[in-house]
């Protein structure tokens, strides 16, 4: 499950992109490449800056964010593989 409030309030993803993600996930369609790249870059930046503890282990926020990223990535890959 994707926590859209987390994406907007902590990661800083704009509500327009979040709405697009919601819509496309319900339709099992992938994001346009530019939107996916923006989503991925913002998530990775947040993880690198805030989601490792003093022992360089991923925090619970980092794990949650990675799961959300995986869900969007899987959708990207699924649609690409269907085209082949």
Give a yes or no: residue 83 inside a domain: no
**How far apart (Å, rounded) are the C-alpha atoms in residues 56 and 66?**
15
Q: Find the domain containing 23 and state its range.
A: 4-76
pLDDT of 78 reads 80
pLDDT of 77 reads 87
pLDDT of 84 reads 61
Q: Which two tokens stand for residue 42?
A: 């913002």
Residue 66, Cβ neighbours under 10 Å: how many?
A: 16
pLDDT tens per residue, the chain (84 residues)? 789 999 999 999 999 999 999 999 899 899 999 999 999 999 999 999 999 999 999 999 999 999 999 999 998 888 667 666
Give a yes or no: residue 81 inside a domain: no
pLDDT of 57 reads 97
Give a yes or no: residue 11 inside a domain: yes
């Amino acid at each position: 499950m994707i926590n859209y409030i987390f994406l907007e309030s902590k990661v800083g993803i704009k509500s327009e992109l979040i709405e697009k993600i919601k819509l496309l996930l319900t339709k099992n369609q992938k994001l346009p490449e530019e939107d996916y790249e923006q989503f991925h870059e913002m998530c990775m930046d947040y993880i690198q800056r805030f989601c490792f503890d003093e022992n360089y282990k991923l925090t619970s926020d980092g794990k949650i964010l990675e799961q959300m990223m995986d869900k969007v990535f899987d959708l990207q890959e699924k649609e690409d593989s269907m085209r082949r």
